[in-house]
Amino acid sequence: MASPRYDAIVIGAGHNGLVHAAYLARAGRKVLVLERRRVLGGAAVTEEVFPGFKFSVCSYVVSLLRPEIIRDLDLPRHGLEILPLDGTFTPMPNGDYLWRVNDHARTRREIARHSPLDAEAYEEYGKAMAEQGRFVKPILGMTPPDPSRLGPDVIRKLMFLGRRFRDLPEPDQYNQVQLMTMSAVDFLDQWFETDVLKATMSASGIIGTFLGVRSPGTAYVLLHHYMGEIDGAFRSWGFSRGGTGAISNAIAAAAREAGAEIRTQAPIARILVKNGGAAGVALENGDEFEAKVVSSSVDPRRTFIGMMEPGVLPEDFVEQVTRYKFRGSSGKVNLALDALPDFKCLPGPGPHLRGAISISPSVDYMERAYDDAKYGRFSRRPYIDCVIPSLTDPSVAPPGKHVMSCFVQYAPYHLKEGNWDEQREAFGDTAIDTLAEYAPNIKSIIRHRQVLTPLDLEREFGLSEGNIFQGELSLEQLFFLRPVPGWAQYRTPIKGLYLCGSAAHPGGGIMGAPGRLAALEVLKDLRG
Amino acid sequence: MQTPRDVVIIGAGHNALVAAFYLGRAGLHPLVLERRPVAGGAAATDEFYPGFRCSTYAHATAGLAPKVVSDLALDRHGLELIRPDPAVFAPTNDGRALILYRDPTHNGRSAQSIAQFSNRDAERYPEFARTLARLAGVLRPLMLKTPPAMQAPALGDLWTMLGAGRAMRAVGSKDMFRLLRWGPMAVADLVAEWFESEPLRATISASGIFGAALGPWSAGSGALLLLRAAFDPEPASGVCFVRGGMGKLAQAITGAATQAGAEIRTGVEVAGIRAREGVVTGVTLASGEEIAAKAVICGVDPRRTYLILVDPTELQPDFLGRIRNYRSKGVLAKVNMALDRLPSFSAVSNLSDPARTLAGRIHIGPEIDYLERAFDASKYGGFSTEPYLEAVVPSLSDPELAPAGKHVMSIYAQFAPYKLRDTDWKAQSEALGDTVVKTLARYAPDLPGLILHRHVITPADLEQQLGMTGGHIFHGELALDQLFSLRPLLGWASYRTPLRGLYLCGSGTHPGAGLTGASGANAAHEFLKDWKRKDRA
């Protein structure tokens, strides 16, 4: 075997794989990143799907990217520029709307229009959630302990968490336990009375999850989306100039500068195991690369079942991997537009189009959308979260034209009848019909459309069952249970094989935390 | 001024009576005040039609805590428990039936029935039963312990947690992770990890949704399955009747409490709990009479206690806000029927002994999706047109309940939400009864012609008759955020309240899982700790 020898091979050049590689390379390790697709970035990717129209094909907004990663990797110098995403606009069927913006006074007036009580509560709520974000922050920067092996490290971590909780003021303790256990709607019911406000806020609790807004456990997903921080401001979301692919490119640039080698169009056939330890990888074209460490940023199913010989892993472990839940619940509709959509309730091209446009008119609407999915069909009237990044970043569309990115939920990966190849266009039509109820001109301004079903997300981006978080963020798959109990420390039963993607703690979104934390564990082990 | 009583107990539900017993045994003479003409709360037997008697509300115990049964010597007070076997009869859509027996590990009868649907499930069932029993063994001791104060752990709390941690570690890391995973899981996912056939999945998952505003796909329903298992570890979750109906249980506990020194007055309604400067001073009756007491133990639910009985100026606004957010909207209705004879279930017509087959829990809910759909309607303020039912024919094992050859049938119907949209239960009560009969008739076509009398009890009736806020049979939702150290509220899971001298002992406290007596026993334990300390001081 004549190929060069590496310290580490990273499977997949998604943002986590790249963060992982960058940290290893910065520590002086020789790193090779192998990506199956012709472009790097994984689900954080910008592609010119139609000539002149550039789309953040999958993930389309950013907030969760850990500040320490931006700092450590000096990402702004490598081209990362975050543009503000201002506000959330929710059109309502009765001709009214709810439009929250980053300007506090204005949002307060707007909410007061619906309910003066809620306007008061909104301020309190914002403060309370920022507190929760601060409380959770160190957990995002921590490798989860393994509670079944009570060593000094585990006790130290559990004590640390216990003390932090004990030291919280009482109201924050309440909020914390409630966020860990309640449904998004039950949680929000305690704060607000305006249905459309609760519906739109609860949407953060179901994104990427096969649960309804009234299902216990969704308050945690709500919190997960509150952990975001841009320039020190919690809960702010933004676009990356040039699309989310620009984030991946910036991280890749940082990794390359530190010495990492990145190859695209290098699909991996299997992970090589020698004497019970990872020894390298074999590509589909037969090339083999040796390394001391193999870190996989793809999900556990693809890693352990797709890339390993049967019998190498303990049966028990394989069983746990098999039952790890993916259950993709969303699709994506990307539109190339000739003009801007015109909303009946707030006509004209106003600033309300510059933020998120949320089709979430009522809690019951959200819940009914889930009911459809529970029985194996896509929502007849889905929850849709749209952005028009070309308004903020004109470079992504030809002059005067626009790109609109629509995240559509629910779209269950497992359909009861038919298959996604048959239903793709019907799914796209449903999304457009839904939007047309609020912005009737939408149908006449669509120049091109790209519909991505959960099956497409799986085929094209390697996300098993189309789950955007590489596995559900349900309580039994979090922290020391993610991805499987006993293996939440990024290590695997194969020595030298690590997981560094969203399937590891703390989970999905363009966060980078799993990639970084896994790198710290790898470096610890390499030092011996 | 009268000399204050030592302790007044509000309500004579089973938990309050259990608490009264323990106080009496410790040498106190608690005065128990009950609004209704009989003691027992939801444990009651009534002649609802001439010659027909049945357990009006609860029709079976959830597994009385064995310690309570032996401490109170309930058998000496006339308690006789009946555990029918087979435990469960679950007819399916295609005219077959799943029949589960007690003692799943030692005989092949359950397996034989399961094998009709899946051989693989039949093989796995005993292992599931053993696993559940092991996990239940870890949880059982916690049911009779005061939950640790998570928010500010003291030494005793650490001891409890350490004990729980040790018990968990003793079962090994695999079971420990199971406990951590199963609790927050959706029970539908949990059973799907073990079984492939719908009838078995649905029958077992019923334990995770019974009495709760949860469908089998709701996360956290796994915790309810575990909670129920802690009192009755058999996965079939069969019923445990009381001979003579649940009223006999009330009589037995009343007998034990009285003998121990408690005084029970019925037909006495408490209108308020009096307090001065944060210390409880007694109760005010609806008649206007005041009874002074050094301590008050309250068996009614937390919302009624804090929002109606206690003067709001005695409580902090934050605390009141949290209690207002305590969820207790019930979803369970009850239908009692007098039957001319035993209905013929199509699925048993080919079995040799229909009377025996139908003696346990009759589970109507053949598929997970069926149960989930039944739940769906309730989310939007309607009741399901195809409800999930748990029916029993107690007269099969206790013939005295009905005239010879005739029977009584008692049915829990879920999901019937406390709050109906655009209508109310007065208008819908009979429609619900019709729905229940129609649903049963799908499996027992001759049933409608056999009904001599029917009595529907809606959540609104439960609230009005038993004083359960929202008609919630567990005094508050059994959801992850309202269990263990969080029941009823974080910081107030020790049976104590913000008012010195006032304690809670009802199902709105840990463990709160139906007729077990555990809440009453735990509350009495905490009360006596404080009482003895005060004595010494």
What is d(CA A289, CA A281) in angstroms, rounded to the nearest whole number? 5
Set of chain A residues whose Cβ sits within 8 Å of the Cβ of B153: 162, 166
Instruction: Kindly state whether residue A271 falls inside one of the protein's structural domains.
Output: yes
What is d(CA B233, CA B128) in angstroms, rounded to the nearest whole number? 11
pLDDT at A341 over 50: yes
The B residues from 294 to 333 touching A (CB cutoff 8 Å) are 318, 322, 325, 327
**SS3 letters across A228-291:** CEECCEECCCEEECCCCHHHHHHHHHHHHHCCCEEECCCCEEEEEEECCEEEEEEECCCCEEEE
Contact between A232 and A66 (Cβ < 8 Å): no
pLDDT at A365 over 90: yes
What CATH number should be reported for the domain whose range is B8-42+63-80+246-327+472-536? 3.50.50.60
pLDDT at A73 over 50: yes
User: Is B153 near chain A, with CB under 8 Å?
Assistant: yes
Tell me how many residue pairs between chain A and chain B have CB atoms under 8 A apart: 96
Both tokens assigned to A336: 């190339």
Beta carbons of B372 and A182 less than 8 Å apart? no
Integer-rounded Cα Rg, in Å, for chain A is 22
Which of A141-145, A288-292, B418-422, B466-470 is predicted least confidently?
A141-145
| Residue whose pair of structure tokens reads 């010494």 in the numeric block | B536
What confidence category does residue B299 fall into, taking pLDDT thresholds of 50, 70 and 90? very high
What is d(CA A420, CA B222) in angstroms, rounded to the nearest whole number? 31
User: Is A314 near chain B, with CB under 8 Å?
Assistant: no
User: Is A325 near chain B, with CB under 8 Å?
Assistant: yes
Strands A88-91 and A97-100 turn out to be antiparallel
The pLDDT score that the predictor gives to residue A158 is 82
Summarize the confidence of residues B167-183 as an average pLDDT. 84
Chain B: give the shortest CA distance to residue A512, in Å. Answer: 26
Which of A63-72, A342-351, B64-73, B491-500 is predicted least confidently?
A63-72
Summarize the confidence of residues A423-436 as an average pLDDT. 98
Chain B: give the shortest CA distance to residue A514, in Å. Answer: 21
What confidence category does residue A235 fall into, taking pLDDT thresholds of 50, 70 and 90? low
Contact between B342 and B354 (Cβ < 8 Å): yes
The pLDDT score that the predictor gives to residue A226 is 78
Please state the domain count of chain A: 1
What is d(CA B93, CA B255) in angstroms, rounded to the nearest whole number? 46
Both tokens assigned to B134: 């092991």
What is d(CA B173, CA A154) in angstroms, rounded to the nearest whole number? 14
Instruction: Kindly state whether residue A39 falls inside one of the protein's structural domains.
Output: yes
Chain B: give the shortest CA distance to residue A100, in Å. Answer: 26
Instruction: Kindly state whether residue A371 falls inside one of the protein's structural domains.
Output: no
Beta carbons of B379 and A149 less than 8 Å apart? no
The pLDDT score that the predictor gives to residue A141 is 87
What is d(CA A348, CA A358) in angstroms, rounded to the nearest whole number? 17
What confidence category does residue B1 fall into, taking pLDDT thresholds of 50, 70 and 90? low
Q: Which residue in chain B has the smallest CA separation from A485?
A: B177
The B residues from 113 to 152 touching A (CB cutoff 8 Å) are 150-152
Picking from B219, B325, B372, the nearest residue to A474 by CB comes out as B219
User: Is A527 near chain B, with CB under 8 Å?
Assistant: no
Q: What is the pLDDT of residues A328-337, one digit of tens each?
A: 999 999 999 9
Contact between B190 and B212 (Cβ < 8 Å): no
Query: Around Cβ A411, how many Cβ atoms within 10 Å?
Result: 29
Q: Which residues 6+ apart lie within 8 Å of B420 measured at CB?
A: B381, B382, B383, B428
Q: Which residues 6+ apart lie within 8 Å of A257 measured at CB?
A: A78
Q: Which residue in chain B has the smallest CA separation from A212?
A: B218
Strands B279-285 and B388-392 turn out to be unpaired
Chain A: give the shortest CA distance to residue B138, in Å. Answer: 15
Provide φ and ψ at A474, rounded to 5°. Answer: -100, 155
**Model confidence, pTM:** 0.95
User: Is B479 near chain A, with CB under 8 Å?
Assistant: yes
pLDDT at A231 over 60: no
Chain B: give the shortest CA distance to residue A488, in Å. Answer: 12
Query: Around Cβ A312, how many Cβ atoms within 10 Å?
Result: 15
Beta carbons of B219 and A165 less than 8 Å apart? no
Residue in B268, B250, B260 with CA at minimum distance from that of residue B32: B268
What is d(CA B121, CA A127) in angstroms, rounded to the nearest whole number? 51
Both tokens assigned to B84: 């029918």
Query: Around Cβ B284, how many Cβ atoms within 10 Å?
Result: 16
Q: What is the pLDDT of residues B303-353, one digit of tens each?
A: 999 999 999 999 999 999 999 999 999 999 999 999 999 999 998 776 678
Which residue did the predictor score with more confidence, A153 or A486? A486
The pLDDT score that the predictor gives to residue A3 is 47
What is d(CA A446, CA A432) in angstroms, rounded to the nearest whole number? 10
The pLDDT score that the predictor gives to residue B424 is 97
Instruction: Kindly state whether residue A255 falls inside one of the protein's structural domains.
Output: yes
User: Is B421 near chain A, with CB under 8 Å?
Assistant: no
What confidence category does residue A163 fall into, taking pLDDT thresholds of 50, 70 and 90? confident
* % chain A with pLDDT above 90: 82
pLDDT at A11 over 80: yes
Q: What is the pLDDT of residues B522-531, one digit of tens each?
A: 999 999 999 9
Q: What is the pLDDT of residues A458-470, one digit of tens each?
A: 999 999 999 999 9
The pLDDT score that the predictor gives to residue A140 is 84
Beta carbons of B219 and A162 less than 8 Å apart? no
Instruction: Kindly state whether residue A294 falls inside one of the protein's structural domains.
Output: yes
What is d(CA A410, CA A383) in angstroms, rounded to the nearest whole number? 7
pLDDT at B167 over 80: no
What is d(CA B401, CA B244) in angstroms, rounded to the nearest whole number? 7
Q: Domain holding A515: CATH number?
A: 3.50.50.60
Chain A: give the shortest CA distance to residue B180, in Å. Answer: 7
What confidence category does residue A227 fall into, taking pLDDT thresholds of 50, 70 and 90? confident
User: Is A199 near chain B, with CB under 8 Å?
Assistant: no
Residue in A419, A239, A208, A443 with CA at minimum distance from that of residue A331: A208
Q: Which residues 6+ apart lie within 8 Å of A38 measured at CB?
A: A264, A265
Q: What is the pLDDT of residues A467-500, one digit of tens each?
A: 999 999 998 999 989 999 999 999 999 999 999 9
Instruction: Kindly state whether residue A383 falls inside one of the protein's structural domains.
Output: no
Beta carbons of A181 and B327 less than 8 Å apart? no
Q: What are the CA-CA distances from residue B147 to residues A178, B119, B153, B157, B353 (Å)?
A: 17, 42, 11, 8, 46
Contact between B527 and B495 (Cβ < 8 Å): yes
Average model confidence (pLDDT) for chain A?
Answer: 94
Picking from B181, B219, B376, the nearest residue to A216 by CB comes out as B219
The pLDDT score that the predictor gives to residue A228 is 67
Residue in B130, B190, B165 with CA at minimum distance from that of residue B368: B190
Asked if residue B153 has a cis previous peptide bond (ω within 30° of 0), the answer is no
In this structure, chain B runs to a length of 537
Q: What is the pLDDT of residues B195-221, one digit of tens each?
A: 999 999 999 999 999 999 999 999 999
Q: Which residue in chain A has the smallest CA separation from B176?
A: A148
ipTM over cut 0.90: yes
Instruction: Kindly state whether residue A137 falls inside one of the protein's structural domains.
Output: no
Instruction: Kindly state whether residue A454 falls inside one of the protein's structural domains.
Output: no
Set of chain B residues whose Cβ sits within 8 Å of the Cβ of A189: 325
Q: Containing domain of residue A305, as a range?
A: 5-44+61-81+243-324+469-527
Residue in A244, A154, A449 with CA at minimum distance from that of residue A331: A449
pLDDT at B105 over 90: no
Q: What is the pLDDT of residues B11-68, one digit of tens each?
A: 999 999 999 999 999 999 999 999 999 999 999 999 999 999 999 999 999 789 999 9
Count of CA atoms in the C-beta half-sphere (13 A) of A216: 31
Contact between B218 and B189 (Cβ < 8 Å): no
Provide φ and ψ at B278, rounded to 5°. Answer: 80, 5
What is d(CA B136, CA B287) in angstroms, rounded to the nearest whole number? 46
Q: What's the angle, vertex CA A217, arms to CA A211 and CA A218, rounded to 5?
A: 60
Provide φ and ψ at B398, rounded to 5°. Answer: -140, 75
Under DSSP, is residue B465 helix (H, G, I), strand (E, B) or coil? helix
- Domain ranges for chain B: 8-42+63-80+246-327+472-536, 85-231, 329-466
User: Is A95 near chain B, with CB under 8 Å?
Assistant: no
Q: What is the pLDDT of residues B349-407, one digit of tens each?
A: 766 788 999 999 999 999 999 999 999 999 999 999 999 999 999 999 999 999 999 99
Beta carbons of B379 and A214 less than 8 Å apart? yes
What contacts 24+ positions apart, CB below 8 Å, involve B279-287? B279/B499, B279/B500, B279/B501, B280/B499, B280/B500, B280/B501, B280/B502, B281/B4, B281/B501, B282/B4, B282/B5, B282/B8, B283/B8, B283/B10, B283/B33, B285/B33
Which of A95-109, A140-154, A355-369 is predicted least confidently?
A140-154
Query: Around Cβ A127, how many Cβ atoms within 10 Å?
Result: 11
Which of A421-430, A488-497, B142-151, B401-410 is predicted least confidently?
B142-151
Both tokens assigned to A93: 């069927």
Set of chain A residues whose Cβ sits within 8 Å of the Cβ of B380: 364, 367
What confidence category does residue A291 fall into, taking pLDDT thresholds of 50, 70 and 90? very high
The A residues from 413 to 432 touching B (CB cutoff 8 Å) are none
pLDDT at A2 over 50: no
The B residues from 489 to 508 touching A (CB cutoff 8 Å) are 490-491
